[in-house]
Homo-oligomer: A and B are copies of this chain.
Amino acid sequence: MSSRITIREIAKRAGVGTTTVSRVLNDHPYVSEDKRQRVLDAVDALDYRPSQTARHLRGSPSGLLGFLTDDVATTPYAVDIIRGAQDVAWRHNMVLLVADSGKNPQSADAALDVFLEREVEGIIYAAMYHRPVELPAALAKAPAVLANCYLEDRSLPSVVPDEFGGGYSAVETAIRAGHKRIAFINLWDDNVGVTPPFPAIYGRLRGYRQALTDHGIAVDDALVRFSNQTPPENYRLTRELMALDARPTAIFCGNDKIAMNCYSALAELGLRVPADVAVIGFDNIAHIAEGLLPALTTIQLPHYEMGRWAVQYLMDRAQGEGEPPQVALPCPLVARESV
């Protein structure tokens, strides 16, 4: 068994008194920001967690949070939402109950039953791709927060990726490398109607257009394609773009899988990345982005950060009421070798 870190050790490391440590750990307001930060740094460095007993004395009932996902299995890289949630839960001495409803509404109801039976103090509902959701009614029986999804009526707090900003920064990266003819192979879904509800599709497209416009480059719709995301179609669209009279010198791909097939098409045409054509992905799926030759410059989805934000919101929620916040977190550029 590990020996428990004590408040005394934290106080010593932070150079403050034990009362200050106790105040910081209990979110007491009368602590200077400087001392608060030193205590939190010491807590980090020593990997301190208040004991279960202490937590009970402070009156928190179950110490449990429920984490319900729609389908982590088919999008394993989104598991970072869970990891981010766990890291913050851990810091607050909360334990995460994780359930995967597999998109089966009956399972979601049953998982919520279990959460409520065990008196969870809050519920995180996470979608594995960014989309509007309809939620089981039982979710309303505990404080809830949505990660990577949102309600159309915005009646629950949500945290999602800033798709617009991600698209914008992908295109701006190509522009800064000197490109002016920048194609976009966007996501599409054959099952989607005329107005697709997926923010990844229209958000990134808006970012693409805005970045071009802001840099004085005319938007050319011939350079924008939509893929049903099958490998042959990704490949075909790349060939089609490269057959244009005024062909692109850079291709922004709606995800890393499209970029992978884009590489194949370019290789078969004898074109080198990035010397002949720059390629930028989206998602930063490590297996693909780090595995491609050359390694893929791409945009990171803030899965880990969304998980953190969601749990932090539940922990903080007593501090403020009002409209449920709808937060979009940045999608940072991961620069590698393809631009």
Asked if A61 is at the interface of the complex by the 8 Å CB criterion, the answer is no
- Let me know if A99 and B73 touch, CB within 8 A: no
Taking a contact as CB atoms under 8 Å apart, the answer to whether B138 and A1 are in contact is yes
Nearest residue (CB) in B for A258 is B291
Tell me the bound Cα distance from A137 to B3 in angstroms. Answer: 12
Q: Does A117 contact B (CB under 8 A)?
A: yes
A249 to B82, CA, bound (A): 43
Known: A97-B96, A232-B293, A287-B288. A1 touches B113 (CB 8 A): yes
B264 touches A293 (CB 8 A): yes
Contact B117–A52 (Cβ < 8 Å): yes
Contact check, A110 vs B287: say whether CB atoms are below 8 A apart.
no
| Interface residues in A92-127 (C-beta closer than 8 Å to B) | 95-100, 104, 106-107, 109-110, 112-114, 117-118
Which 7 pairs show the lowest CB-CB distances between chains A and B? Answer: A2-B109, A76-B76, A52-B117, A257-B291, A267-B267, A1-B138, A79-B79
| Docked complex Cα distance between A49 and B213 (Å) | 57
With an 8 Å Cβ cutoff, the count of chain A residues facing the other chain is: 56
A293 pairs with B235, CB closer than 8 A = yes
Which residues in chain A, 66-89, are within 8 Å of chain B measured between CB atoms? 72-74, 76-77, 79-80, 82-83, 86
Of A2, A77, A82, A260, most buried by chain B (CB within 10 Å of CB) is A2
Interface of A is mostly: helix
A284-328 interface code vs B (CB 8 A; 1 in, 0 out)? 011110111101000000000000000000000000000000000
Within 8 A of B (CB), among A34-75: 47, 49, 52, 72-74
Write out, one digit per residue, whether chain A residues 110-150 have a CB within 8 A of any chain B CB (1) or not (0).
10111001100000000000000000111000000000000
For window 232-264 of A, CB contacts with B under 8 Å fall at 232, 235, 256-257, 260-261, 263-264
Closest to A118 in B: B95
Q: What are 8 residue pairs bridging A and B, where the CB atoms are less than 8 Å apart in the complex?
A: A1-B137, A2-B109, A96-B97, A231-B292, A256-B287, A257-B287, A261-B293, A285-B287
Contacting A97 at CB < 8 Å: which of B82, B83, B97, B136?
B97
Instruction: Select A86's contact among B52, B98, B138, beta carbons within 8 Å.
Output: B98
Choice from B2, B72, B80, B113 contacting A73 with Cβ under 8 Å: B80
Interface centre among A83, A268, A290 (most CB of B within 10 A): A83
Question: Which residues of B have CB within 8 Å of A288?
Answer: 260, 287-288, 291
CB nearest to A109 among chain B residues: B2
CB distance from A122 to the nearest CB of B (A): 16
In the complex, which of the residues B4, B98, B231 contacts A293, with contact meaning CB atoms closer than 8 Å? B231
**A96 CB contacts on chain B under 8 angstroms:** 97-98
A167-178 interface bits toward B, Cβ cutoff 8 Å, 1 = contact, 0 = none: 000000000000
Tell whether, in the assembled complex, residue A1 and residue B112 are in contact, meaning their CB atoms are under 8 Å apart: yes
The interface centre, meaning the residue of A112, A256, A268, A291 with most chain B CB atoms within 10 A of its CB, is A291
CA distance A137 to B49 in the complex (A): 20
Residues of B within 8 A of A106 (CB): 2, 47
Closest to A78 in B: B76
